[in-house]
Amino acid sequence: MQEDKELSRFDNIYRFTQIEELMEELTGWMIGFHERLDLEFDDFKNKSRMEEAISYIRGNYDKDLNMAVVSNHVSMNYSLFSYAFKQYTGKNFVNYLKEIRMGEARRLLAQTDLRVIEISQQVGYENEKHFMKTFKKECGVSPTEYRKNMQFR
């Protein structure tokens, strides 16, 4: 890789006779690195990738979804995607996905007669107990209690 070749010039820092010489080389490398980051994080390109990622998440939250799948879908490096996603949404991927799933679960509990296990599967949880624990932590009540509370409104 180009980065490896560029960094190899720092393999033996003792070849520099003066600290100023090393600092000049490092500064040049840092400026180039910053320019490459700017290109990688092109604002418009990243915004459209994040919009595409969010659309993909909203369309597939009910499936086995993780950040690797979504970052691959939008053709972005995993680490860069993680950073850009949090910058764009204000949330990390896991919390964003959980928020989408819990919102849909609340809607289904309030508007349908589906059983809790069916709802947990429809919103992407294969393990009903995990769904129930997550729901209670996020909403303050169990899914069954939530449904009962919604019937009295």
pLDDT in tens, 73-118: 999 999 989 999 999 999 999 999 999 999 999 999 999 999 999 9
Contact assessment for residue 134 and residue 98, using Cβ atoms and an 8 Å cutoff = yes
* 2: pLDDT strictly greater than 90: no
151 vs 23, more confident: 23
For the entire predicted model, the pTM comes to 0.71
Which residue is listed with tokens 């400026």? Answer: 31
Mean pLDDT of 51-64: 97
Report the candidate in 14, 23, 71 with the shortest Cα–Cα distance to residue 46.
Answer: 71
What's the distance, Cα to Cα, between the start and end of the chain in Å? 61
Which residue is listed with tokens 């429809």? Answer: 122
